[in-house]
Amino acid sequence: MKSIQDTYILSNGNKIPCVGFGTWKLEDTDTTVDIVKTAIDCGYRHIDTAFGYYNEKSVGKAIRTCGLKRSELYVTTKLSNGSHGYENTMKEFEMSMSNLDIDYVDLYLIHWPRPLAIRDTWIEHNAGTWKAFEELYNEGKVKAIGVSNFLDTHLEALLDTATIAPMVNQIELHPRYVQRDVVQYCKDHRIIVEAWSPLIKGEFDNPVLINIAKKHNKSVAQILLRWSIQHGFLPLPKSSSKERMLENSNIFDFKLSDEDIEALKALEALGKTGAHPDTATF
């Protein structure tokens, strides 16, 4: 990889840019339109949103008005927790398409495997949702399908009834929370692993991170994103600042040493920053 526009290859042969731009917590406003367009100007070609972010309209407007052809951008959105099951999935997908106002979605994900609303019937509901996903994929309305926050147990249950395997799994992933079991499962099944919260929500004051950043004359954020790339993950950093967007893209002119990678393992004692998929209260 030499730039954020370089690509991984999905199991269906489609290309996906190796770094995405996250939009979680960006509101549905003209400010968000400007932020996403700025990211695109900075070279980002992979934009990640979700129905549950409530900003699809702004993201879609940025995509339509940025000056690039639709085919030059990679757009991901996600099914919300309240719409699992075949019919609900189909309804919400049409709502997402209306919000985005684009002809197709490059990647459609199930946002969470066991939301509270279906905690006890998640296997049945996910099977129905995945049937809808496969239909949308076969009809060309989405170019790839996948999941988010799925552990290996959730993936196994989905694959019991799936005819098309998920192509992507987007999970919380950074040196504090490495999720080795699900990462290995995904590698074994040719599922690309995307990393949400790759910057650990800006918690940069750890001395290990600071020392490695000084060693390479890079920022802590660049160290964290480089860690993702060297592990073959696809990080999804978010920033509202053009300076930070550019900084986050400048991660291909250095390499973490084996010693650096080993030192970063000390962060694992600190753990995750987000919810666990089996116990999330939403």
| The pLDDT of residue 48 | 98
| The pLDDT of residue 151 | 98
67 assigned to some structural domain: yes
Total domains in the chain come to 1
276 assigned to some structural domain: no
Report the pLDDT averaged over residues 260-281: 96
Give the C-alpha separation, 1 to 229, whole Å: 8
Cβ–Cβ < 8 Å for 8, 192: yes
| The pLDDT of residue 132 | 98
- CATH code for the domain in which residue 136 is found: 3.20.20.100
For residue range 213-233, list pLDDT tens digits in order: 999 999 999 999 999 999 999
82 assigned to some structural domain: yes
- Which of 113, 257, 272 is closest to 179 using CA atoms? 272
| The pLDDT of residue 87 | 98
For residue range 148-176, list pLDDT tens digits in order: 999 999 999 999 999 999 999 999 999 99
Q: How many percent of the chain have pLDDT more than 70?
A: 100
2 assigned to some structural domain: no
Residue 126 banded pLDDT, cuts 50, 70, 90: very high
Cβ–Cβ < 8 Å for 77, 50: yes
Report the pLDDT averaged over residues 57-68: 98
Assess whether 177 carries a catalytic annotation: no
Instruction: List the catalytic residue out of 53, 74, 108, 177.
Output: 53
Report the pLDDT averaged over residues 240-266: 98
| The pLDDT of residue 46 | 98
| The pLDDT of residue 205 | 95
136 assigned to some structural domain: yes
34 assigned to some structural domain: yes
The strand pairing partners of 22, in sequence order, are 48
277 assigned to some structural domain: no
Residue 6 banded pLDDT, cuts 50, 70, 90: very high
Quote the pTM value: 0.98
The DSSP H or E segment spanning 77 is: strand 74-79
- Which of 44, 55, 45 is closest to 80 using CA atoms? 55
Residue 47 banded pLDDT, cuts 50, 70, 90: very high
Range of the domain at 129: 9-270
4 assigned to some structural domain: no
| The pLDDT of residue 153 | 98
CA-CA-CA-CA torsion sign (33, 6, 140, 237) = negative
Coil vs helix vs strand at 193:
strand
